[in-house]
Amino acid sequence: MTEELISKDKSAVRRYEDRPVGCPPGSDAAAMTKEEKEAHRDTVGRLEELVEKAGKADKKPLPEIRKILEESPELAWRSMDYGKLAEWHFVERMTNDKDFGSKELLRRQLAAMREEIAGENPSPLERLLAERVVATWLQIQLYEGLYAAGMYQSMNLNQGNYYQKRIDRAHRNHLSAIRTLAQIRRMGPSIQINIAQKQINTAG
């Protein structure tokens, strides 16, 4: 392979971006001017204000909310990301309230796991499944930790069985996510899935 071909091959590689599937990349903050950054902050602030009002059974802000999201669709994920919210709850449960260092370390570990599992040039479906693999892994660690902590306390047989069932269920979900990701990869970079008579192309 010539140096030119190697260069082209490297440029085609897309690194994993730790953002939800469906969320556009958004603007590059490093390339934005001071004025553009200020305008962006104003837009984010205005959106948060409108969402708060609409959350109180007020439909009046909806047209403006829709207009902002049409122009900056990535902000929909900034305001509300249920995947990250679920992860936040697990991280909070697994760490002490004010142990901010451990929280940050765990979040960085999870982000690194998602990147390594997804690999280079992942399709949207591969990214989604990589997120699921990591999410179920996190659940296993939480339930294993609760079970282990209970062993030092007065845990009766019913309580022990309850925790073990939670671990087993989380482990099955974890293996299911891993198997599905492996199956998708064996099918190749571009496959189609028929859902309700509609074809979905999983190519990135």
Residues 99-130 have pLDDT tens digits of 999 999 999 999 999 999 999 889 999 999 99
Q: Is this structure's pTM higher than 0.85?
A: no
Structural domain spans, the chain: 26-80, 82-189
Write down the mean pLDDT value for the chain: 84
Q: Which two tokens stand for residue 56?
A: 């109180």
Phi, psi of 67 (to 5 degrees): -65, -45
Name the phi and psi angles at 59, rounded to 5: -85, -10
For residue 84, name the pLDDT band (cuts at 50, 70, 90).
confident
CA 1, CA 105: separation in Å to the nearest integer?
41
Question: pLDDT tier at 196 (50, 70, 90 boundaries)?
Answer: very low
Q: Name, in order, each residue with C-beta under 8 angstroms of 144's C-beta and a sequence gap of 6 or more.
A: 167
Query: 142 pairs with which residues across the strands?
Result: none
pLDDT confidence of residue 14: 62
Residue 135: both structure tokens together = 């999410």
* pLDDT one-digit tens code per residue, 148-186: 888 877 788 888 899 899 999 999 999 999 999 999 998
Q: Give the model confidence (pLDDT) of 22-47 as tens digits.
A: 888 776 777 888 898 899 899 999 99
